[in-house]
Every structure is written in C-alpha cells, then in structure tokens.
Amino acid sequence: MRICARKERGKFSAVDVSVESKLPDVGTTIFTVMSALAQEHGAINLSQGFPDFDGPEPLLDRVQHYFNNGFNQYPPMQGVPTLRTAISGKVADLYGAKVDPDSEVTVTAGATEALFCAIAAVVSAGDEVIVFDPAYDSYDPVIRLQGARAIHIPLEQPSYRPDWQRVEDAITPRTKMIIINSPHNPTGGIWTDTDLAHLEKLVCSHELFVLSDEVYELIIFDGELHQSVCRFGDLYSRSFVVSSFGKTYHVTGWKVGYCVAPPLLTTEFRRIHQFVTFTVNTPVQLGLADFLTDHPEHHLRLPDFYQGKRDYFLSLMKNSRFTFEPSRGTYFQLLNYQAISQESDRDLAERWTKEIGVASIPVSVFYEDQQSSGASVLRFCFAKDDATLERAAEILCNL
C-alpha cells in the first residue's frame, strides 16, 4: 500500500508505508454497497435491513426529554441501571429466565459491538469457531481478527436448519465456540426447540461456548415461539445472548443493543467492551428504559405487525414469476428468480438496482464458498410502508 504522507517545507512528497492487512480479502459490506447503489440510482431500497417508518412517538418523546433536561454525560460503563433492569424484566417475561441486571446484562453500541466483544472475550489464536452458512457478514472477520479460524457449515435447504451430525463431526479439540442466529438473517428460517436441545447437549459435552445472535427475537411468525438460549438453563450457562433495540423499536440508526451472559462471561465481556466503546449514549438508554417499562405492548405486538407486512408483500408478489417460501421470522423475504434470469445473484442485484429501480441483497455473499450457495435467490426487506411495498412489487411483477 502506498500512502502520500510526508510534508516537507509545505510540500507533500510520497513515502512508502507498508501495511499488512489483517483482513485483505474484505471489502465494504454488501449492505453499504447496495444502499449506496440504490441511492445513486434512485431505486426503491429493499436491500439493507431498516424500516422506512419511524420509531414509536412515546419513545422519541422520552429520548427528547432526556436530551433536553441535562442527561448528556457519560452513563455507567455497563449501561444505565434502569435499562439493564428493564432488559432483565423483558427476558423474564418472554423466556422465564432470571438474569441479574448488575452481573449479567451489558448495554452495547448495537448488536455489532456485542458480537465483537463476545467473540474477543473467549476466542484465542488457533481456536476454531463453528458458523452456519449463509452467515451474517460480521462473524467471520471478527473470528479471524482473534487469529482463530471460522469453520463454515451450510444450513440444510429449504428449512435452513442444521444437520446436527455434521456439526458434531466438525468439532475438534480446537473448537471454542458455536455462533447461532435464529430467526435467521438472510433466510428468514427459525430453529426449533429440538435444535436448541441438540446444541445444549453438544456444547455441554464438548465444553464449548455459544454466541446466540437473537436480534430478530421478536420478529417471528405464524404463532411460532422464539427459542431463545435463555430458555435452556445449561445452554445459557455457556452462552452470550445478543439482541438489538434497532430491530425491535424501528430505530436501527441509534445503534443500541445488549448482551446477556452469566456473570463469569459478562466479566470477560466487559473487560473488552470498556475499551471498545466504554459505554453508549445516555439519553437514548434512558428513553429506551422508560419505553420498555411503560409500553411492553410494543414488542408484544411486533410479530403480528411484521407478519402483516410479510403477508401483504407476498400477496402483491403472488402473480409474479418469482417463487418463494414465506419467511418464518426477521423482516426479510427470499425470492427465487430462476424462472426470470440465469445471472448470478450479485450481478442481478446490481443490474436491477440500476435498471428497474429495486435494490435487494444477493444471498451468495453470506457463504464462505459463494459458488456453493446453490440457489438463485435475492433477499428483500419488507420493513417498509405499504406504499413502498406496492411500488416495488409492481415493478417486480412485470419481470
């Protein structure tokens, strides 16, 4: 890498600076790439996952209140007490688990920071970490930054659940952690209580840690129960459970999430968290705490709210040439375009953004071996106003 740097008597001259990249194969994330392309071409953006509607007004009012009334200095490193207590209450209500707000809950700068800190807390150079493809894009680079190796196991299509024999066969003396994500981005698949029971047995017998990415815990459809790791006592005792307020409260830009983990793991987690971000902005934490406590109906209604969006989007798409299985959770829907085009998903996502004005996310980028992703599918985000979904569907139905 060549950098123009040295300034001598008012003039810059070129100097050679060499940097050995820690992530030489990593480009800009697909979400940033596709959203930028959508913006450049004025396309309807169903790519990066975020709502095109605002968070609930009482929540915005509470945050405004704290902004305007002097709550603008550092909060405690682990998060404000009222928010940690509200999180602990939510975990008890939803999953019947008792987690101590002081020793088991940490507020983070989005789930992204929590994922980083959890991996960095226990994974060391030479370790192996099992991830399931298609895998959310931040897991593998963070594992590699620890000098460890990600072992990618494909989920079984079309259910996108794991083959547990294959998982067991992949465990070696170097395996340190398994990362799971249900409801699953990008497929919309969910894991069952049987899956979690298999996982519990494996991690206890092999003494592994689990990182459970549950950011879509409240976006689950057709009456299914979210199988949080918090429901399984032995499993929880070896786990970091991560969630995000961005998804649940329609405020992805606030970047506030949290990690729930048993005291020993939380201690290690916080050793890292305090030097990554130290803490997360005060007024938003305080506002979220009030809203969680005063308006639990918001998150309790979320499955119906997003199921309505999924069903509306799919009803608009039913006469299209795409084929699909309804998403079972998250605010993403996979659409198979095999009857329309033979192009690669990446090429097609880019071409359609430019030419037809609808942006989506290619799914192959979430596979270690992109050729093996095997399916001609694109991911569409339906966390949008009905009018946005109608405009997008009209275009897609003409293909």
Q: Which residues bind ligand PMP (CB under 6 A)?
A: 49, 110-112, 136, 181, 185, 213, 215, 244, 246, 252, 255, 257
In angstroms, the CA 289 to CA 193 distance is 30
- Residue closer to ligand GLN (CB basis): 15 or 276: 276
Query: Between 31 and 305, whose beta carbon lies closer to ligand GLN?
Result: 31
d(CA 337, CA 375) in angstroms, rounded, equals 9
Find the shortest distance in angstroms from Cβ 252 to ligand PMP.
Answer: 6
- Based on the shown chain and the rule CB under 6 A, indicate whether residue 48 belongs to the binding site for ligand GLN: yes
Q: ∠ CA(27), CA(380), CA(384), 5° rounding?
A: 115
Considering only 88, 185, 212, 279, the residue that binds ligand GLN (CB under 6 A) is 185
Measured distance CA(166)–CA(146) in Å, rounded: 25
Alpha carbons 202 and 181: distance in angstroms, whole number? 17
Check: CB of residue 357 under 8 Å from CB of residue 395: yes
**What are the distances in angstroms from CA 120 to CA 150, 185, 221, 257?**
13, 22, 33, 17
Give which of ligand PMP, ligand GLN, none residue 334 binds (C-beta under 5 to 8 Å, depending on kind): none
Can you tell me the distance from the alpha carbon of 375 to that of 319, in angstroms, rounded to the nearest whole number? 21
In angstroms, what is the minimal distance from the CB of 221 to ligand GLN? 18
Q: Does 29 bind ligand GLN (CB under 6 A)?
A: yes
- In the complex with ligand PMP, the residue whose CB is nearer, 49 or 75, is 49
CB of 52 to ligand GLN, least distance (A): 13
Decide which of ligand GLN, ligand PMP, none touches 48; Cβ closer than 5 to 8 Å per partner kind. ligand GLN
Binding of ligand GLN at residue 49 (CB under 6 A)? yes
DSSP run (H or E) holding 181:
strand 175-181
**Closest separation in Å from C-beta 298 to ligand GLN:** 20
Q: Are 56 and 249 in contact (CB under 8 A)?
A: yes
Q: Which of ligand PMP, ligand GLN, none interacts with 266 (beta carbon under 5 to 8 A by kind)?
A: none
For the bound state, the minimum distance from the C-beta of residue 399 to ligand PMP, rounded and expressed in Å, comes to: 27
CA distances from 354 to 5, 91, 351 (A): 37, 43, 5
Question: CB 195 → ligand PMP: shortest distance, Å?
Answer: 17
- Asked if 353 touches ligand GLN (CB under 6 A), the answer is no
Whose CA is closest to 89, among 249, 232, 230, 281?
Answer: 230
Q: Which is nearer to ligand PMP, 181 or 360 (CB)?
A: 181
Pick one of ligand GLN, ligand PMP, none as the site partner of residue 29 (Cβ within 5 to 8 A by kind).
Answer: ligand GLN
Q: For Cα atoms 32, 115, 21, give the angle at the middle one, nearest 5 degrees.
A: 60
φ and ψ at residue 255, rounded to 5 degrees: 55, 60
- Residue 187 as a binder of ligand GLN (CB under 6 A): the answer is no
Q: Smallest distance from the beta carbon of 108 to ligand PMP, in angstroms?
A: 8
Question: Cα separation of 253 and 281, whole Å?
Answer: 13
Cβ closest to ligand GLN, residue 49 vs residue 75: 49
Nearer to ligand PMP, 248 or 376 (CB): 248
Number of DSSP helices (H) and strands (E) in the chain, helices first: 16, 14
Chain positions contacting ligand GLN, by CB under 6 A: 29, 31, 48-49, 185
